[in-house]
Amino acid sequence: MQHRMRGGGRLRWLGALGLVGVLGGGEARAEPARGAGPTAADPMTVAVPIPGSNLVRGRAKVIVAAPIESVRARVLAFGDYARFMPHYSRSKILGRTKSGDREIYMEVTALHGAARFWARMAVRKLVGAAGGIETYEVSMLEGNVKDFHAVWRLRSIDEARTELELEVFLLPRLPLPASLLNTENMRGASKGVGAMRSFVEGKR
């Protein structure tokens, strides 16, 4: 019984982090079948294998009912993330790194506020993307997790719709099974991109 309680705590901790991704929270919902396109209700979620390991990055995609300018403004408004991303307790823009990248700070709480996890990160816009895709890469500079990496991708469909994709990988310091980490990274991507869509569309 004691072992099961500890495992439950770890699950709640990962669920809270699912986005630091950057990104989840609430009850888990069934994901749509792989290969299906994103719908108005559910993100399309896939696992992206990490070479040389049994871990994956979570990747999720939605269609946002807003022009790309509006979506970009919300994605880059990192100081607002604590307003709508579940479990985010602090989020702020720190300034610029020496290389000119945007520097941000994110903090999430778990286990009813008993645990706090934070990361200082750099945001870099990747240039030269094909297909009209804008890419913003978020990489950890320091924090109390082993690794965190996220990528936002935006593509204009027309004047009123934007395809939005989030790819995320979070590796905590706790020794946890790869299957659990993979599930939570996929769930974090799905919930994170869904929360962003709701924020952009004014549903939060």
Q: Quote the radius of gyration of the chain (alpha carbons, Å).
A: 16
pLDDT digits (tens, 9 = 90+) for 107-146: 877 656 666 789 999 999 886 667 789 999 999 999 998 9
Residue 47 located in a structural domain: yes
In a domain, residue 89? The reply is: yes
Over residues 12-26, the mean pLDDT reads: 39
Domain that holds residue 163: 2-26+36-200
Q: Is residue 31 part of a domain?
A: no
Q: State percent of the chain over pLDDT 90.
A: 54
| pLDDT for residue 169 is more than 50 | yes
Average pLDDT, the chain: 80
Full DSSP string of 142-201 = EESSSEEEEEEEEEEEETTEEEEEEEEEEE-SS---HHHHHHHHHHHHHHHHHHHHHHHT
Task: Identify the weakest region by mean pLDDT among 26-40, 46-60, 131-145, 188-202.
Answer: 26-40
**AA identity, residue 110:** A
The torsion angles phi and psi of 147, rounded to 5 degrees, stand at -160, 145
At residue 83, does pLDDT exceed 60? yes
* The predicted structure's pLDDT at residue 87: 73
Question: Cβ contacts of residue 132 below 8 Å, gap of 6+?
Answer: 155, 156
Chain-centroid distance of CA 26 in Å reads 15
Our count of domains for the chain comes to 1
Burial pattern 122-135, b for ≥16 Cβ within 10 A else e, equals: bbbeeeeeeeeebb
156: in domain: yes
How many angstroms separate the CA atoms of 138 and 148, rounded? 8
Residue 182 falls inside a structural domain = yes
CATH number at residue 127: 3.30.530.20
Q: What's the confidence (pLDDT) of residue 81?
A: 93
pTM of the model: 0.78
46-75 per-position pLDDT tens digit: 999 999 999 999 999 999 999 999 999 999
Residue 115 lies in a domain: yes
pLDDT of 63 reads 97
What are all long-range contacts of 6-10, with beta carbons under 8 Å and residues at least 24 apart? 9/111, 10/174, 10/176, 10/180
Higher-confidence residue of 24 and 138: namely: 138
Q: Is residue 88 part of a domain?
A: yes
Residue 154: inside a domain, yes or no?
A: yes
